[in-house]
Amino acid sequence: MDNKTIYQRNIAKGAPATAQSRNDMFDFKKFLILLKKNIIWVFLFFTLALLSIFLYIRYTNVKYQSYAELKLNKRNEASVFGFNPLSEESSNLNTLSGEVELIRSKLFLKQVIKKLPLDVTYEVIGRFKNEERYAYVPFRVKYQESCAPKHLKMFVDIIDEQNFRISLNPEENKWKKGLFNQDFDFGGCTYQLQKTENFFVGETLFFTINSEESSLDYIESNLSVAPENLNANTIKITFEDYNLYKVQSIVETISELYIEYSREQKNKANQLKIEFLNEQLNQTAAVLSGYEAAIEEFTVENKTVNPANDLNKLITEIVKVDSMLFNYRFQLKELNKTQEIIKEDSIQIYQINTTLLPQNIYQHFNELIELNNSLLLAKMRYKSGSQIITETAQKKEVLLVRIQQMIDSRITFLEQQQASLLTRKKALEESFNKLPAKNNELNQKMRFYSLYEELYLALMQKKTEFQIAQAGTLAEVVILTPASLPKLPIGPSSKILYMGAVVFGLILSFVFVMVKYLIYDEINSLNELERLTHLPIIASISRLRKSIAKKGGVIVFEKPRSQISEAFRTLRTGLSFLGINEGKTVISITSSTSGEGKTFIAVNLAAILSLSSKKTIILDLDMRKPRAQHAFNIQSNDDGISSILSGGVHWKNCVHKTKNENLHFIPSGVIPPNPAELLESNLFTQLLSELRKEYDIILLDTPPIGLVSDGIIALKKSNYSLFVVRSDYSKRSFIKDLHRSIDLNGIENVSLIFNAAKKDNKSYGYYQDYYNDNGSKSLSTLKKIFNF
C-alpha cells in the first residue's frame, strides 16, 4: 500500500470544485464491480437469449432461395435490313426498369398463378413443426370452385391405399371417411382426392384452398426482381419460400412465361403501330393526290412545267427586242440626217453613214457626188444655160429624186419594223409580269407535295420496319442462369442467430449493469470516495471475510501479521501526520448509520495505538446500541459511560483492562433514556478532562451522526474526528450530509476512513496469510466468478 501517496493526496485539503467536477466522471472500476456482482444476471440474460434462439430454430422451418438471371438482347431482325433500332430501346436503364415492372405487374403474375398449382397448399403435420409439400404430394385435390371454402384447413388422415378420412377439427374427433379418386361431399361441396405417383401411407396432413388474391399476395411478398447489370442488360429474379421445389418451380415458370409474354407483347405492340401507320399512310396519300391534280391542272393551263425557265427565256427575248429597237432608231436617225444633207445640197460622202445605207443607195450617192462635181466644172467652163449644164442639172435632179425615194422607202420599212417590235415587246412584258405569281403558286404546291411525299416515304419505311420485326420477332430475353434447385437454406442461419443472441445478451447485460450503475448509490471504491469529497482520506481498511468478522475480537492482537493489521498501522501513521503525538488527543470515530464498521475501526485503532507505547482508552459512547464490549469479550455492561455521566459511579471503577496493558476500555453501560443530554452535561467534559491526565489518546466510539445527535456532541469535544465510510454500504448522500453537518456545526480536523475495501489482488508477502488461512485456498473457481 502506497502510504505516502495517500497522505500527500488526502491530508492537504483539495478544492471542492475539483472534487465536484470529478464526481461526474464515469467510474469504469465501479462498472466492473457491479458487473461482477450481477454476473448471475448476465449469465441468465445470455442463457435466455441462447435458449430463445434454440427454440426459434427448433420450431421454425428453414427458408430456401432460388434465382434466375435473364439478359435482354437489344438486337432486332429489322437491323438485318439496314433499319435503325427502335427508339423505345435507346436507354438501358429505362428498358430494364420497364421490364422489371412488367414482371412484377399483377397482370403478369396472374398468368404465373394460373400455370402453377398454387391454388392448394399441402402441409404434413410434424412433431415440432409442419412441413409444406409441393412436388411430392400423395394426392391432388379436385374441388368445385363455386362452393369450396378458402383458407380453411382440412385435415386428411390416410388410412390405406384406398381409404382416408377428413376433418375440419381433428381434436373433436369428427372424421368423415372417403375413397381416393372418387367424389365425396364434405361441408356442402364436392371434392375428389386424386392419388399421385408419390402416394404414401401413415402420415396426417392438411390442405388449404387459396384464393387468387392470397396467391397473388404470396407471390408478390416473396418475389424480388431487380436489374443486375445495367451495362449487360441483365435482370435477376429471386424467390424465397420454405419449400425448395416450390421456389425453383416458381422462378422457372416466371422466366419461361416472361420470355413468351415478352414476345407476345412485342408482336401486339408492333401490330398496333402498323395499324396506326396504315391510317396515317391513307391520309397522306389523299393529300398527295390532291396536290398532284393541282400541279397537273396548272401545267395544262399555263402550258409549262417550269415557269422559272420560261421566265429566263422571256427576259432574253425582251433584251433582244430592245437591241433591235435601238438599231432601228439609230438607222432612222441617220437616214433623217442624210435627208437634211440632201436638202442643203451640200452632199459630202464623209457626212453620210454609208454603213447604214443599202448598197444601191450608196452607189447612187457616188453618182450624185460625181454629177455634182461635173456640174461645178461645167459652170466654170461653160456659160449658164448651156446644154451640158442643163443636162447635168437634169441628171442630178433625177438622181436626187431617186435617192430620196429610196431613203423614204427605207425609213418607212424601219418604222414598220419598229412598231412591230414595240408590239412584241409589250406582249413580252405582259407575260413577264404574270410569270412570278404563277411561279410562286407552282413552287408552293411543289413544296407541299415534296413534304407530304417525304412523310409518306418515312411512314412506309416505318411500316416496313415493324412488319419485318413482326415477321421475324425473336425472343429478346435469354436465360443466362436458369432456376436451380437450392442445395442449402438461406435462413434462419444458426451461426448468425447465435451470434445475434450473444450480441443481444451483451447489450442487455450492458444496459442492465448501466441501469444498476446509474441507480447504484453506494460508494464502492476509494476512487469514487475521492471524487465525492475534498476531505482527507487517511486509510483504506480491507474487507473481512464473514467467517472472521463473525468471530469478533481485536484483529490487530489476534492477527498481527495480517494485511488488515498493516492497514491499521497505516492509519496510525496517517494520524501521526495529523499531529496526534503532540500532547493529549481526543479522537472521535463515527459514521452516518449503523453497520459501517465504526466500532470495528475504533477497537482496532485503539489496539494499534496502544502497541506504539501510547496509553490509550476507548469509550463506547453509543449508549443506544453498544457493541464495543463484544470485541473485548466483556460480558457485563452494567457500569459504564451512562453510569459515569449519571453521577452514580467514578470512571475508574468502570475501566476494563485488555490484553495490552496500554489499552483500556470503558463500556457504554446501561442504556439510558437520554443519551444526548448525558453527553451535553458537564460531567462528560469533566470526564474527558480527567482522562487526558491519565491517557495519551482517548478514542470515542460515538453513535452514527446520521441517525441521532449524540455523535455531533462528541465530535465537538474532540481534537480529531474520523468518519467511517463502508464500501458497498455507505450512500453517496451520507457524504453530502457529512459536509452539511461539518459546515453547520463548525467541526474541524475531520478525516475519512474507507472501510471494507475490496482486495485488488496486489498483496504479497506474509500479509496474505490472513486471507489464505482457514481453507481459503479451497475456494472454488465458481465461487470466485459469482462473487460468493
Ranked by mean pLDDT, the top range of 49-53, 402-406, 529-533 is: 49-53
Share of the chain above pLDDT 70, in %: 82
Interval 317-331: pLDDT, tens = 877 887 888 888 887
> Is 748 inside any structural domain?
yes
User: Does residue 764 register a pLDDT over 60?
Assistant: no
Spatial CB neighbours of 559, under 8 Å, sequence gap ≥ 6: 565, 770
Angle, in degrees to the nearest 10, between helices 494-519 and 39-58:
150
- Give the separation between CA 662 and CA 666, rounded to whole angstroms: 14
Residue 513 lies in a domain: yes
What distances in angstroms separate CA 3 from CA 21, 237, 726, one per listed residue?
25, 75, 20
Residue 480 belongs to some domain of the structure = no
Question: Do 441 and 329 belong together in one domain?
Answer: yes
Q: Quick count: other Cβ atoms within 10 Å of Cβ 278?
A: 12
User: Please, which pLDDT band fits residue 770 given cuts at 50, 70 and 90?
Assistant: very low
Q: Find how far residue 387's CA is from the centre of its chain.
A: 143
Checking if the pLDDT of 122 tops 70, the result is yes
Q: Does 549 share its domain with 409?
A: no
Specify the higher pLDDT residue, 153 or 24.
153
Range of the domain at 374: 307-471
492 in Cβ contact with 53 (< 8 Å):
no
Pairing of strands 750-757, 720-726: parallel
Q: What is residue 305's predicted lDDT score, i.e. its pLDDT?
A: 58
For the chain, the average pLDDT equals: 80
Do residues 507 and 424 share a domain? no
If asked whether residues 427 and 509 sit together in one domain, one would say no
The cell numbers describing 97, all together, are 426498369
Question: Which whole number is the average pLDDT over 40-69?
Answer: 90
Q: What is the mean pLDDT of residues 125-150?
A: 88
What pLDDT was estimated at residue 552? 60
Q: Is the peptide bond before 492 cis (omega within 30 degrees of 0)?
A: yes
Residues 591 and 726: their CA atoms lie apart, in Å, by 9
Question: Are residues 596 and 500 part of one domain?
Answer: no
Mean pLDDT of 640-666: 89
Burial track 112-139 (b if 16+ CB lie within 10 A, e otherwise): bbeebebbbbbbeeeeeeeebbbeebbb
pLDDT of residue 81: 43
Higher per-residue pLDDT: 727 or 92? 727
Distance CA 427, CA 100 (A): 77
Separation of alpha carbons 425 and 416, rounded Å = 14
CA 492 from centroid of its chain's CA atoms: 25
504 and 615 housed in the same domain? no
Q: Is 569 helix (H, G, I), strand (E, B) or coil?
A: helix
pLDDT for position 154: 93
pLDDT at 302 over 70: no
Judge whether 119 lies within some domain. no
Say if residue 346's pLDDT is above 50: yes
- SS3 breakdown of the chain: % helix, strand, coil, rounded to 5? 55, 15, 30
Q: How far is CA 179 from CA 139, 151, 679, in A?
A: 12, 23, 104
Give the pLDDT of residue 327.
81
Within 10 angstroms of residue 355's Cβ, the number of other Cβ atoms is 8
Residues 127-139, mean pLDDT to the nearest whole number = 87
Q: Are strands 616-620 and 663-666 parallel, antiparallel or unpaired?
A: parallel
Helices (H), 59-122: 92-104, 106-115
Instruction: Say whether both 503 and 446 belong to one domain.
Output: no
Q: Does a structural domain hold residue 595?
A: yes
What is the tally of structural domains in the chain? 3
pLDDT digits (tens, 9 = 90+) for 225-241: 999 888 888 999 999 99
For residue 765, the model assigns a pLDDT of 36
Region class of 745: left (phi > 0), else alpha (psi between -120 and 50), else beta: alpha
- For 606-646, write each residue's pLDDT tens digit: 999 998 888 999 999 988 888 888 888 888 778 888 888 88
Residue 665 corresponds to which amino acid? F
500 shares a domain with 629: no
> Which of 662 and 334 is assigned the larger pLDDT?
662
Note whether 444 and 510 are same-domain residues: no
339 & 410 share domain? yes
> Which residue, among 667, 660, 573, has the nearest Cα to 615 in the 3D structure?
660
> What is the C-alpha separation between 96 and 479, in angstroms, rounded?
15
Give the SS3 label for residue 143: strand
C-alpha to C-alpha distance for 741 and 672, rounded to whole angstroms? 25
- Over residues 556-582, the mean pLDDT reads 84
In a domain, 566, yes or no: no
What is the pTM (predicted TM-score) of this model?
A: 0.51
pLDDT of 503 > 60? The answer is yes
For the chain, the residue count is 788
Provide the pLDDT confidence category of residue 350 given band limits of 50, 70 and 90: low
Span of 219-223, 313-317, 441-445, 565-569 with lowest mean pLDDT: 441-445
Q: What is the pLDDT of residue 240?
A: 94
Q: What is the CA radius of gyration of the chain?
A: 67
Q: Is residue 683 scored above 50 in pLDDT?
A: yes
Q: Cβ(743)–Cβ(535) under 8 Å?
A: no
Question: Beta-strand (E) ranges in 198-326?
Answer: 204-209, 223-229, 234-241
**Quick check: is 624 in a domain?**
yes
pLDDT digits (tens, 9 = 90+) for 158-191: 999 999 999 998 888 889 999 999 999 998 899 9
Q: Which of 302-311, 363-372, 491-500, 661-670 has the lowest mean pLDDT?
A: 302-311
Residue with cell 453506494: 522
Higher pLDDT, 381 or 161: 161
pLDDT at 358: 64
Chain segment 700-709, per-residue pLDDT in tens: 998 888 777 7
pLDDT of residue 178: 93
Quick one: cell of 749? Answer: 480536523
Task: Answer whether residue 171 is part of any domain.
Answer: no
Could you tell me the three cell numbers for 270?
408492333
Q: What pLDDT does 549 receive?
A: 59
pLDDT at 48: 93
Q: Are residues 461 and 497 in the same domain?
A: no
Q: Does an H or E element contain 616, and which? A: strand 616-620
Q: Is 702 left (phi over 0), alpha (psi -120 to 50) or beta?
A: beta
User: What CATH number is associated with residue 749?
Assistant: 3.40.50.300
Please tell me the predicted confidence (pLDDT) of residue 785. 44
Whether the predicted pLDDT of 390 surpasses 70 = yes
Rounded distance between C-alpha atoms, residue 93 and residue 446, angstroms: 44
Could you tell me if 238 and 65 are in contact, meaning their C-beta atoms sit under 8 angstroms apart?
yes
Q: Which residues, at least 6 apart from 61, have a Cβ–Cβ distance to it below 8 Å?
A: 129, 130, 131, 132, 242
Say whether both 340 and 466 belong to one domain: yes
